[in-house]
A = this chain, B = another copy of it.
Amino acid sequence: MSTTQPGPVRMTRQRVAVADALQGVDEFRSAQQLHEVLRSRGDAVGLATVYRTLQALVDGGDVDVLRTDDGESLYRWCVRREHHHHLVCRECGRTVEIDGPTVEAWAAMVGTEHGFSEIVHTVELWGTCRDCRGA
Protein backbone atom coordinates (compact mmCIF):
# COMPACT_ATOMS: atom_id res chain seq x y z
CA MET A 1 0.00 0.00 0.00
CA SER A 2 1.27 3.46 -0.81
CA THR A 3 0.08 6.70 0.68
CA THR A 4 -0.26 9.69 -1.59
CA GLN A 5 2.78 11.89 -1.10
CA PRO A 6 1.88 15.34 0.21
CA GLY A 7 3.81 17.21 -2.45
CA PRO A 8 4.95 20.80 -2.08
CA VAL A 9 2.37 23.53 -1.71
CA ARG A 10 2.84 26.47 -4.04
CA MET A 11 2.17 29.99 -3.03
CA THR A 12 0.02 31.33 -5.82
CA ARG A 13 -1.63 34.68 -6.29
CA GLN A 14 -5.02 32.98 -5.93
CA ARG A 15 -4.23 31.33 -2.62
CA VAL A 16 -2.89 34.51 -1.18
CA ALA A 17 -5.97 36.36 -2.38
CA VAL A 18 -8.43 33.93 -0.82
CA ALA A 19 -6.56 33.77 2.47
CA ASP A 20 -6.32 37.53 2.50
CA ALA A 21 -10.03 37.95 1.87
CA LEU A 22 -10.75 35.85 4.92
CA GLN A 23 -8.18 37.16 7.32
CA GLY A 24 -8.98 40.27 9.23
CA VAL A 25 -12.70 39.70 8.67
CA ASP A 26 -14.60 38.42 11.67
CA GLU A 27 -17.57 37.19 9.70
CA PHE A 28 -18.39 33.82 8.25
CA ARG A 29 -18.49 34.11 4.47
CA SER A 30 -19.70 31.83 1.72
CA ALA A 31 -17.48 30.75 -1.16
CA GLN A 32 -19.65 32.73 -3.52
CA GLN A 33 -19.34 35.87 -1.41
CA LEU A 34 -15.58 35.57 -1.30
CA HIS A 35 -15.49 34.96 -5.03
CA GLU A 36 -17.46 38.15 -5.57
CA VAL A 37 -15.36 40.17 -3.14
CA LEU A 38 -12.19 39.16 -4.95
CA ARG A 39 -13.69 39.96 -8.32
CA SER A 40 -14.81 43.44 -7.30
CA ARG A 41 -11.44 43.98 -5.67
CA GLY A 42 -9.92 43.42 -9.10
CA ASP A 43 -8.18 40.29 -7.93
CA ALA A 44 -10.43 37.72 -9.59
CA VAL A 45 -10.07 34.04 -8.81
CA GLY A 46 -12.05 31.25 -10.43
CA LEU A 47 -14.93 30.00 -8.32
CA ALA A 48 -13.63 26.44 -8.47
CA THR A 49 -10.29 27.62 -7.16
CA VAL A 50 -12.00 29.45 -4.33
CA TYR A 51 -13.71 26.22 -3.34
CA ARG A 52 -10.52 24.20 -3.67
CA THR A 53 -8.52 26.68 -1.64
CA LEU A 54 -11.12 26.91 1.09
CA GLN A 55 -11.24 23.15 1.38
CA ALA A 56 -7.47 23.05 1.76
CA LEU A 57 -7.56 25.72 4.43
CA VAL A 58 -10.23 23.77 6.30
CA ASP A 59 -8.18 20.58 6.08
CA GLY A 60 -5.19 22.46 7.36
CA GLY A 61 -7.15 23.68 10.35
CA ASP A 62 -6.80 27.35 9.48
CA VAL A 63 -10.42 27.84 8.58
CA ASP A 64 -13.68 26.72 10.20
CA VAL A 65 -16.75 25.76 8.22
CA LEU A 66 -20.37 25.55 9.16
CA ARG A 67 -23.52 25.09 7.19
CA THR A 68 -26.54 27.33 7.20
CA ASP A 69 -30.02 25.95 7.52
CA ASP A 70 -30.39 25.99 3.78
CA GLY A 71 -27.24 24.03 3.16
CA GLU A 72 -24.73 26.69 2.22
CA SER A 73 -21.22 26.39 3.64
CA LEU A 74 -19.75 29.39 5.42
CA TYR A 75 -16.05 29.83 6.09
CA ARG A 76 -14.12 31.83 8.64
CA TRP A 77 -10.48 32.24 9.56
CA CYS A 78 -10.76 31.74 13.31
CA VAL A 79 -8.42 33.24 15.84
CA ARG A 80 -8.03 30.12 17.90
CA ARG A 81 -7.12 26.85 16.32
CA GLU A 82 -8.26 24.83 19.31
CA HIS A 83 -11.76 23.39 19.47
CA HIS A 84 -14.38 26.06 20.02
CA HIS A 85 -17.88 27.06 19.01
CA HIS A 86 -19.49 30.08 17.40
CA LEU A 87 -22.15 32.64 18.06
CA VAL A 88 -23.04 33.80 14.56
CA CYS A 89 -25.24 36.66 13.43
CA ARG A 90 -27.78 35.28 11.02
CA GLU A 91 -27.93 38.58 9.18
CA CYS A 92 -24.33 39.62 8.63
CA GLY A 93 -22.30 36.60 9.68
CA ARG A 94 -20.45 38.48 12.41
CA THR A 95 -19.06 35.92 14.79
CA VAL A 96 -17.89 35.58 18.35
CA GLU A 97 -15.75 32.58 19.17
CA ILE A 98 -16.90 30.90 22.33
CA ASP A 99 -16.15 27.81 24.31
CA GLY A 100 -18.34 25.81 26.61
CA PRO A 101 -16.35 23.65 28.95
CA THR A 102 -19.56 22.32 30.45
CA VAL A 103 -20.94 21.34 27.08
CA GLU A 104 -17.84 19.35 26.17
CA ALA A 105 -18.04 17.24 29.29
CA TRP A 106 -21.78 16.80 28.98
CA ALA A 107 -21.56 15.66 25.37
CA ALA A 108 -18.91 13.07 26.11
CA MET A 109 -20.82 11.78 29.09
CA VAL A 110 -24.18 11.46 27.38
CA GLY A 111 -22.52 9.69 24.50
CA THR A 112 -20.73 6.96 26.40
CA GLU A 113 -23.68 6.65 28.72
CA HIS A 114 -25.67 5.31 25.78
CA GLY A 115 -22.94 3.06 24.48
CA PHE A 116 -21.84 5.30 21.62
CA SER A 117 -18.17 5.78 20.83
CA GLU A 118 -16.18 8.38 18.95
CA ILE A 119 -18.53 11.12 20.01
CA VAL A 120 -18.39 14.34 18.09
CA HIS A 121 -20.64 17.25 18.88
CA THR A 122 -21.77 20.23 16.88
CA VAL A 123 -22.83 23.25 18.86
CA GLU A 124 -23.57 26.48 17.09
CA LEU A 125 -25.42 29.54 18.31
CA TRP A 126 -27.31 31.76 15.90
CA GLY A 127 -28.70 35.15 16.77
CA THR A 128 -29.13 38.68 15.53
CA CYS A 129 -26.33 41.04 16.51
CA ARG A 130 -26.81 44.50 17.90
CA ASP A 131 -26.08 46.28 14.63
CA CYS A 132 -28.42 44.14 12.57
CA ARG A 133 -31.27 44.41 15.01
CA GLY A 134 -32.00 47.97 13.96
CA ALA A 135 -32.17 47.05 10.29
Contacts and interface: CB of A to CB of B under 8 A. Distances in A.
Interface of A: 67, 71, 87, 89, 96, 98, 100, 102-103, 106-107, 110-111, 114-130, 133
Q: Which of A103, A110, A115, A127 has the most CB of B within 10 A?
A: A127
Given A67-B67, A127-B111, A117 B133 contact: yes
A121 B126 contact: yes
Contacts of A110: 87, 98, 100, 125
Given A71-B67, A71-B71, A87-B111, A116 B127 contact: yes
Given A102-B102, A106-B100, A117 B125 contact: no
Copies in the complex: 2
12 contacts: A67-B71, A87-B111, A102-B102, A102-B106, A103-B103, A115-B130, A116-B127, A116-B130, A119-B126, A119-B127, A121-B125, A122-B124
User: Which 8 pairs, one residue from A and one from B, show the smallest C-beta to C-beta distance?
Assistant: A116-B127, A115-B130, A119-B127, A71-B71, A120-B126, A111-B127, A121-B125, A123-B123
A125 to B, nearest CB: 5
B106 A129 contact: no
Contacts of A121: 123-126
